[in-house]
Amino acid sequence: MARTVDLNRVAVAVEVMERESFTAATKSLGMPKSSVSRGVSALEQELGVTLLKRTTRKLALTEEGRQWFERARVAIAELEQASTCLSSRERDPHGVVRVTAPPDVGPILLDALANFHPLYPQVHVELVLTARRMDLVGEGIDLALRAGRLEDSTLIARKLFATDMGLYASPEYIERRGRPRTVADLARHDCVPFRAREGHGVWRLSGPRGQTTKVEVTGFISVRDVGFVVDACLAGMGIGLGPVHLCDVLVQQGRLERVLPGWRLTGNGLYLLHAASAFLPRRVEVLRDYLVERLAVTNELSPRGKRTSPRR
């Protein structure tokens, strides 16, 4: 069975042997001479051999000590190099950060990540866009963006913004069917209900003055994926509730139009999550902090991704 030794004592002994002096090693290590001497003696006890011959005037290595020293100093040097390398990596973070997010969040990540790369060019972001809630620990995910109710209380979560949903339709649909003037008009339009039953859904909307109302809507297709709702609206299939942060960009591109702009559905929020850890890798830490700073003001952004004047 291999002997277990104290690496601190190994480092002290190597320093003594390299300098061939307890006194010189004491000054180099910044330790009391008595502590250095006790450390070497304790190491010899652990190893069961005598490493040094001590006299009042001279310090010499035994044959066992010489053999041990040749290997130990290499090992200590390797450990110091590894620590230096790790410290350098932490000062200049690089490596892969795996991030997962719902597909509809992809567009708002695009601008943020484009601006992140010049700041940390050695950090590679591996982005997994999926509606499935991935297991962060089991699937090796560093950061996750999730909308809605959080279920795993073991994760560290930071709320970024509320996931507001607005009413949108394509220009082609509005030209064909007209534009609703009131919330009640939605009941007479083709809609794309989210999580509806047999094509019937109920939208509970908040108005411009804080009032709330609900309207029953119908459509020949209903889905459980927000991204598909947006695609259906783009295809002219009806009016749908889509994420404001995504659809307002499509409005600027002329591909969608906002319907009843004073009305919206306020979602639970978008969260940035990571596994609880006392030592989060620096590459993960810098991306986390950057996304929090960028995305926490997404609801203050214009559709082209430039920050507007802050609300007072």
Residue 43 lies in a domain: yes
The CATH number linked to 35 is: 1.10.10.10
Structure confidence at residue 311 (pLDDT): 31
Please tell me the distance from the alpha carbon of residue 259 to that of residue 86, in angstroms, as a whole number: 54
The highest-confidence range among 11-25, 73-87, 297-311, by mean pLDDT, is: 11-25
What is the pLDDT at residue 86? 59
| Least confident window among 82-86, 174-178, 211-215, 295-299 | 295-299
- Which of 267, 233, 268 lies closest to 247, judged by CA? 233
Burial class (CB in 10 A: 0-12, 13-18, 19+), 155: middle
pLDDT digits (tens, 9 = 90+) for 221-257: 888 778 889 999 999 999 999 988 789 889 999 999 9
Indicate if 100 and 177 belong to the same structural domain.
Answer: no
Q: What is the distance of C-alpha 306 from the center of its chain?
A: 22
Last residue of a domain, one of 75, 91, 107: 91
Residues 99 and 138 in one domain: yes
Among 23-32, 98-107, 142-151, 178-187, the range with the most confident prediction by mean pLDDT is 178-187
Q: Are residues 182 and 255 in the same domain?
A: yes
Judge if 171 and 260 occupy the same domain: yes
Strand order, beta sheet including 212-218? 212-218, 200-206, 257-265, 165-169, 240-243
Higher pLDDT, 152 or 254: 254
Check residue 130 and report its DSSP letter.
-
Is the domain of 112 the same as that of 227? no
Domain count, the chain: 3
Task: State whether 69 and 118 are in the same domain.
Answer: no
State whether 191 and 237 are in the same domain.
yes
Average pLDDT over residues 108-127: 88
Mean pLDDT of the chain, nearest integer: 84
pTM for this entry:
0.55
Phi, psi of 58 (to 5 degrees): -140, 145
pLDDT surpasses 70 at 87: no
206 shares its domain with 274: no
CA proximity to 248, closest of 309, 136, 165: 165
Whether residue 305 lies inside any domain: the answer is: no
Residue 276 pLDDT level (bands cut at 50, 70, 90): confident
On whether both 52 and 103 belong to a single domain, the answer is: no
Q: Residue 261: inside a domain, yes or no?
A: yes
User: What percent of the chain stands above pLDDT 90?
Assistant: 36
Q: Kindly tell me if the per-residue pLDDT of 301 is higher than 50.
A: no
- What does the block give as tokens for 145? 């963006």
Give me the percent of the chain exceeding a pLDDT of 70. 88
- Measured CA to CA, the distance from residue 70 to residue 219 in angstroms comes to 80
Q: Is residue 153 one of the residues assigned to a domain?
A: yes
The answer on 171 and 153 residing in a single domain is no
Q: Among 91, 119, 144, identify where a domain stops.
A: 91
pLDDT single digits (tens) 15-29:
988 888 888 889 888
Q: Average the pLDDT over 151-178 and give the result.
A: 88
Is residue 242 within 8 Å of 193, Cβ to Cβ? no
Has residue 308 been placed in a domain?
Answer: no
Residue 190 DSSP symbol? B
Q: Is residue 306 part of a domain?
A: no
277 and 224: one domain? no
Binning pLDDT at 50, 70 and 90, where does residue 305 land? very low
pLDDT at 269: 79
Does residue 248 lie within any of the structural domains?
Answer: yes
Q: Is residue 68 assigned to a domain?
A: yes
**What residues make up the domain containing 204?**
165-265
CATH number at residue 256: 3.40.190.290
Q: Do 240 and 191 share a structural domain?
A: yes
The more confident residue out of 267 and 61 is 61
